[in-house]
Chains A and B, each alone.
Chain A
Amino acid sequence: MSPLLEAVDLHRHYSVRTGGGLFAGKAVLRAVDGVSFRIRAGQTLGLVGESGCGKSTTGKLALGLIPPSSGEMRYDGERMPAAGSPAWRALRRRLQMVYQDPLGALDRRLPIGTQIAEPLVIHGIGAVSERRDRALSIMESVGLQRHQFGRYPHELSGGQRQRVVLARALITEPRLLVCDEPISALDVSIQAQVVNLLLDLQERLGIAYLFISHDLRIVRQVSHDVAVMYLGRIVERGDAENVFARPAHPYTRALVSAIPTVGDKRERILLGGDPPSPANVPPGCSFHTRCPFATAQCRSEIPTLQPQDDGREVACHRVRETALRLVA
């Protein structure tokens, strides 16, 4: 089966100035540096990594909001049209986004009902009289009350606002939702509601998700596959259960060990230092500056994603040695 969305060797580079002033040098910031992934219909790909590793840029690339510097995005086997072109705009019916800050993503001056029905108006779907009913029914399916149709965004709670954003995204019956940190701005109790809602919608409507988050527990709960990013590259990719239960890459291992659990006796792997600047990526494996297993090879050769026995892919020169040591 061909994937719904496919990223082929995506790069997104920004030229930045180093330092201030008139004579500042220029550097290339590699926000996304050779990322490939596939999302199948009705499946969820979780994208995890620390702040500034290129997760959100990857999300924007996935939607075609920004053009890649090289590589390409394919939707249903076809190359993503340029942002703003009529073909791209038409494709918005199928590709939607859920935002981290629902209040910021909503127009404060319009009642939520109008905003939920807006995609129908934009894409000319349905008769004018029909749109209101469709908006009401989608509101009910995301757990909003019918009488809230005329409310304004600032009159709703955070969880309700995120439901409004979801309803607006779902009304055109999209096939893929890019969720960029959809729950990190919400209370813990509301986080669970929204996650359950997302799972429920996937089951009922068969929507695929690209789920971007730094919250590993949530990612583990919602994802079928997971990709771990570090400094613009995917370092480990595979079945979510596998990756979280037996992380292979040293970075993934450090991340997974940081998930707090009850009665945990496991050893925490503490990474020293900060991640290097994406404008000045170290040569070789970009993780070698913080990796306890780094060797001379790691400092000179960039590791590529290599398939492992259980189907996952890991970009690490020493994955076999370190895995053995972990077992022993």
Chain B
Amino acid sequence: MALNDTTLSAPTPALGLRKAWRRLRSVPPLVTLCIAWLVLMIVTALAANLLAPYSITAFDLKARLAPTLLLGGKLAHPLGTDELGRDVLSRLIVSIRMSLLIAFFGTLISTALGTTLGFLAAHFRGKVEQLVLIAIDFQASMPFMIIALSVLAFFGNSLLLFVALMGFNSWERYARITRGLTLAANEQGYASAVRQLGAGPARIYGLHILPNIASTLIVSMTLTFPEIILLESGLSFLGLGVQPPLTSLGNMVGYGREYITRAPWIMLAPAAVIVMTTFSISLLGDWLRDRLDPTLR
């Protein structure tokens, strides 16, 4: 790839900045908002320990079920407190970190798993392909919630197991996409051409097919990410996800529902974060799909 660098005359820094600015301005305002929200979420997740004003398990028994600022609460607890007097804002910040962590690693695992299986199926064909296809059909025909429930019921719950389980969500989509696109590329096109040049499988799959199908996979990842957040929320809501004293967005919604009439702020804050984040990622994915097509550049 050294060939690449030498050909492009390096643009002057000022020109590069202006170019970057022009690019930035071409982003639609709604997408900009989404990106801003996601950046806020990531910063919150990274700096959770610094940002959270209280420990998530610190009780303030004198201020139990204190309302948010909007409903006439005090500045000490801007988003109110829950039934044990724990600060909702602190819990929300830590929950964002937990949920993003699970969703991030879950997406990464499912992408890696699905893509690898898809490549294997397309490369070896025959028995391997049949096996992968059977697994794909099995996964696709079984609601993942049921699989997740039974795994958690049998094996108990630990954070590691939970993240790995989330990684098995929707891997079949990546496997299908990868297999289909690889078969097409192998049959007639750049992949078979590179093979005919004498390239080994590592070069064909790593340097040619993967970059070509990456845009499809990335867009698919933006679908999986919110899915996992929602799945995690659902499972935590049912009490099978993240276990107290750890907290996650879904876990907060789940435990907050008992107080929905008396203290709705306990579950509204995490619910709003879930909605905003999943919506932002979906919209960003939609926009990325258009941006990543090389022929549209």
A residues contacting B by CB (< 8 A) are 63, 65, 84, 89-93, 96-97, 99, 101, 104-111, 113-114, 117-119, 122-123, 128, 131-132, 135, 149-150, 152, 154, 165, 168
Q: With an 8 A cutoff between CB atoms, is B294 at the interface?
A: yes
Identify A107's interface contact among B3, B6, B196, B212, CB under 8 A: B212
Which of B32-40, B60-68, B108-116, B187-195 makes up part of the contact surface?
B187-195
Neighbouring A residues of B289 by C-beta, 8 Å: none
What is the CA–CA distance of A131 and B7 in the complex, to the nearest angstrom? 13
1/0 contact string of B1-17 vs chain A (CB within 8 Å): 11110111000000000
Considering residues A106, A107, A110, A168, which has the most beta carbons from chain B within 10 angstroms of its beta carbon?
A107
Chain B interface, DSSP helix/strand/loop, else mixed: helix
Q: Are A123 and B294 in contact (CB under 8 A)?
A: no
Q: With an 8 A cutoff between CB atoms, is B291 at the interface?
A: no
Identify B212's interface contact among A97, A101, A108, A119, CB under 8 A: A108
Q: Are B4 and A89 in contact (CB under 8 A)?
A: no
13 contacts between A and B (CB under 8 A): A63-B196, A96-B196, A97-B196, A106-B193, A107-B190, A107-B194, A107-B212, A113-B4, A118-B197, A122-B199, A122-B200, A150-B4, A150-B8
Q: Are B193 and A154 in contact (CB under 8 A)?
A: no
Q: Are B7 and A92 in contact (CB under 8 A)?
A: no
Q: Are B295 and A107 in contact (CB under 8 A)?
A: no
B residues contacting A by CB (< 8 A) are 1-4, 6-8, 188-190, 192-200, 203, 208, 211-212, 294-295
What is the CA–CA distance of A91 and B198 in the complex, to the nearest angstrom? 8
- Taking A105-B190, A149-B7 as contacts, is the C-beta distance between A154 and B197 under 8 angstroms? no
- Taking A128-B2, A132-B6, A154-B295 as contacts, is the C-beta distance between A92 and B196 under 8 angstroms? yes
How near does chain A come to B240, taking the closest CB pair, in angstroms? 42
How near does chain B come to A91, taking the closest CB pair, in angstroms? 8
Chain B's closest residue to A89 (CB) is B198
Q: A91-B198, A106-B193, A135-B3 are in contact. List 15 more A-B contacts (CB 8 A).
A: A65-B196, A89-B198, A89-B199, A92-B197, A97-B196, A105-B189, A107-B194, A109-B294, A114-B4, A117-B3, A119-B197, A119-B198, A132-B6, A150-B8, A165-B193
What is the CA–CA distance of A154 and B3 in the complex, to the nearest angstrom? 19
Chain A's closest residue to B190 (CB) is A107
What is the CA–CA distance of A133 and B104 in the complex, to the nearest angstrom? 44
What is the CA–CA distance of A99 and B153 in the complex, to the nearest angstrom? 56
How near does chain A come to B150, taking the closest CB pair, in angstroms? 34
Chain A's closest residue to B215 (CB) is A109
Considering residues B7, B188, B193, which has the most beta carbons from chain A within 10 angstroms of its beta carbon?
B193
What is the CA–CA distance of A165 and B192 in the complex, to the nearest angstrom? 13
What is the CA–CA distance of A150 and B212 in the complex, to the nearest angstrom? 18
How near does chain A come to B203, taking the closest CB pair, in angstroms? 7
How near does chain A come to B120, taking the closest CB pair, in angstroms? 15
What is the CA–CA distance of A168 and B196 in the complex, to the nearest angstrom? 11
How near does chain A come to B190, taking the closest CB pair, in angstroms? 4
What is the CA–CA distance of A106 and B192 in the complex, to the nearest angstrom? 10
